[in-house]
C-alpha cells in the first residue's frame, strides 16, 4: 500500500481510497491561500489608509504650528511698532530663558515652550500708555500699579490661543517671586510653574544688563550679584545656578 503525506505532513492518506479526500484537501488549501491573499491585500489597504491619515494629521499639525507662529509674529510686530525697547527685551529674554532651560537639561518641548513665552511675555504692556513705558524717571506709585497689570493683560490676550505649551500661564506668572512678594497674585514656591521661574530669572538679568529710559545699563556682574543674593528668596535656585553657569562657564552673551 502506497502511503503519502498531506501538505502539512499530518496524516497519511491512502492513495487509491483517499483520492477524493486529497482533492478536497487541495481545494481547501487553495481556498485558504486565496483567503490569506485577500487578508494580506486588506491589511495592505489598511496600512495605506493609516499612512494617509497619519500624513493628513501631520499636515494639520504643521498648519496649526504655522498658524500659531503667525499669531506670535503678529503679536511681536504689534509690540515692536509701538515699543521697540520691549520687543528687543523680549527676544533677549527668550534667548537667555531657553539657554537656562537647556542648561537645566529640561525636555526639548519644555525648552521650546519657554522660548515662545519669552518672546511675548510682556505683550500685556500693549495696554499701558507709551509715555509711562518710556518715562525718563522712576514711576509714581499710580504708574507702577498700572505697569503691574501687564502679566494679567498678557494672559487675557493669550489664553485662547491654542499653544502646545501653557504659554499664557507662563506669561501670567513671570513677575511672581519665590517668597510670594511678586505680582499679580503673590504666588510662592511650588505654586509658581518652573517655566515661569526660569523666565523670571532671565527677565531680571536682561533688565539689569540693559539701558532703561531712566538709567544706563548696569552690567552682567551686577545682574548675577542680584540673582545670587536673592537665590531661593526671590528667584528659583536651580534657575539661578544655571544662569550663572551660562555666563561664567559657557560664555553666554546677549546678542
Ligand atoms: Fe514683565
Ligand atoms: Fe520683561
pLDDT in tens, 97-120: 999 999 999 999 999 999 999 999
Residues 108 and 129 placed together within one structural domain of the fold = yes
Using the predicted structure, report yes or no on whether residue 1 has a pLDDT greater than 50: no
**Closest CA relative to residue 204, chosen from 245, 234, 179:** 234
| Residue 243 pLDDT | 98
What number of helices (H) and strands (E) belong to the chain?
10, 2
Nearest ligand to the C-alpha of residue 203? 2
Residues 168 and 240 placed together within one structural domain of the fold = yes
Final residue before a domain boundary, out of 26, 49, 82: 82
Residue 183 lies in a domain: yes
Question: In 3-state terms, what secondary structure has residue 114?
Answer: helix
The Å distance, Cα 122 to ligand 2 centre, comes to: 5
Residues 116 and 99 placed together within one structural domain of the fold = yes
The tens digit of pLDDT for each residue in 18-55 reads: 555 566 688 888 999 999 999 999 999 999 999 999 99
Residues 102 and 75 placed together within one structural domain of the fold = no
Final residue before a domain boundary, out of 58, 82, 106: 82
- Rounded-to-10 torsion of CA 99, 101, 104, 105: -100
Residues 49 and 109 placed together within one structural domain of the fold = no
**Closest CA relative to residue 240, chosen from 223, 252, 253:** 223
| Residue 17 pLDDT | 47
Residues 207 and 92 placed together within one structural domain of the fold = yes
The tens digit of pLDDT for each residue in 157-215 reads: 999 988 889 999 999 999 999 999 999 999 999 999 999 999 999 999 999 998 776 67
| Residue 164 pLDDT | 83
Q: Which residue has the higher pLDDT, 137 or 5?
A: 137
Cβ distance 28 to 34 under 8 Å?
A: no
Nearest ligand to the C-alpha of residue 210? 2
The Å distance, Cα 89 to ligand 2 centre, comes to: 7
CB atoms within 10 A of CB 43: 10
Containing structural domain, residue 73: 1-82
Residue 241 lies in a domain: yes
Q: Give dist(CA 150, CA 175) in Å, integer.
A: 10
Q: Which residue has the higher pLDDT, 137 or 71?
A: 71
What residues sit around ligand 1, an ion, with C-beta below 5 angstroms?
122
Residue 191 lies in a domain: yes
Residue 254 lies in a domain: no
The tens digit of pLDDT for each residue in 208-253 reads: 998 776 677 788 999 999 999 999 999 999 999 999 999 999 999 9
Residues 125 and 48 placed together within one structural domain of the fold = no
The Å distance, Cα 126 to ligand 2 centre, comes to: 13
pLDDT band at 255, cuts 50/70/90? Answer: confident
For the chain, how many structural domains are there in total?
A: 2
Residue 255 lies in a domain: no
The Å distance, Cα 123 to ligand 1 centre, comes to: 8
Residues 94 and 43 placed together within one structural domain of the fold = no
The Å distance, Cα 172 to ligand 2 centre, comes to: 12
In degrees and rounded to multiples of 5, residue 179 shows phi and psi of -90, 10
The Å distance, Cα 76 to ligand 2 centre, comes to: 13
Residues 115 and 146 placed together within one structural domain of the fold = yes
Residues 52 and 108 placed together within one structural domain of the fold = no
Using the predicted structure, report yes or no on whether residue 130 has a pLDDT greater than 90: no
| Residue 23 pLDDT | 64
Residue 156 lies in a domain: yes
Q: Give dist(CA 180, CA 232) in Å, integer.
A: 11
Residues 24 and 98 placed together within one structural domain of the fold = no
Return the CATH number at 220: 1.10.3210.10
| Residue 19 pLDDT | 54
Residues 116 and 190 placed together within one structural domain of the fold = yes
In degrees and rounded to multiples of 5, residue 149 shows phi and psi of -80, -10
Residue 58 exposed, middle or buried by CB count within 10 Å (0-12, 13-18, 19+): exposed
The Å distance, Cα 95 to ligand 2 centre, comes to: 12
Amino acid at each position: 500500500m502506497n502511503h503519502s503525506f498531506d501538505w502539512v505532513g499530518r496524516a497519511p492518506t491512502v492513495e487509491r481510497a483517499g483520492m477524493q479526500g486529497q482533492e478536497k484537501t487541495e481545494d481547501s488549501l487553495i481556498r485558504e491561500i486565496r483567503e490569506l491573499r485577500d487578508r494580506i491585500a486588506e491589511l495592505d489597504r489598511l496600512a495605506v489608509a493609516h499612512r494617509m491619515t497619519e500624513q493628513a494629521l501631520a499636515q494639520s499639525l504643521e498648519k496649526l504650528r504655522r498658524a500659531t507662529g503667525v499669531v506670535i509674529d503678529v503679536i511681536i510686530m504689534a509690540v515692536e511698532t509701538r515699543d521697540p525697547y520691549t520687543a528687543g527685551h523680549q527676544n533677549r529674554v527668550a534667548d537667555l530663558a531657553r539657554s537656562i532651560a537647556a542648561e537645566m537639561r529640561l525636555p526639548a518641548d519644555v525648552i521650546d515652550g519657554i522660548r515662545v513665552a519669552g518672546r511675548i511675555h510682556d505683550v500685556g504692556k500693549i495696554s499701558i500708555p507709551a509715555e509711562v513705558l518710556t518715562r525718563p524717571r522712576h514711576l509714581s506709585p499710580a504708574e507702577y500699579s498700572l505697569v503691574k497689570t501687564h502679566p494679567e493683560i498678557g494672559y487675557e490676550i493669550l489664553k485662547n490661543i491654542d499653544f502646545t505649551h501653557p504659554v499664557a500661564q507662563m506669561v501670567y506668572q513671570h513677575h511672581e517671586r519665590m517668597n510670594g512678594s511678586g505680582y499679580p497674585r503673590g504666588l510662592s514656591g511650588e505654586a509658581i510653574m518652573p517655566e515661569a521661574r526660569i523666565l523670571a530669572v532671565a527677565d531680571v538679568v536682561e533688565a539689569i544688563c540693559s539701558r532703561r529710559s531712566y538709567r544706563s545699563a548696569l552690567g552682567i556682574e551686577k545682574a548675577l550679584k542680584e540673582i545670587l543674593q536673592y537665590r531661593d528668596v526671590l528667584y528659583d535656585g536651580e534657575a539661578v545656578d544655571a544662569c550663572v553657569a551660562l555666563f561664567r562657564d559657557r560664555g553666554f552673551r546677549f546678542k
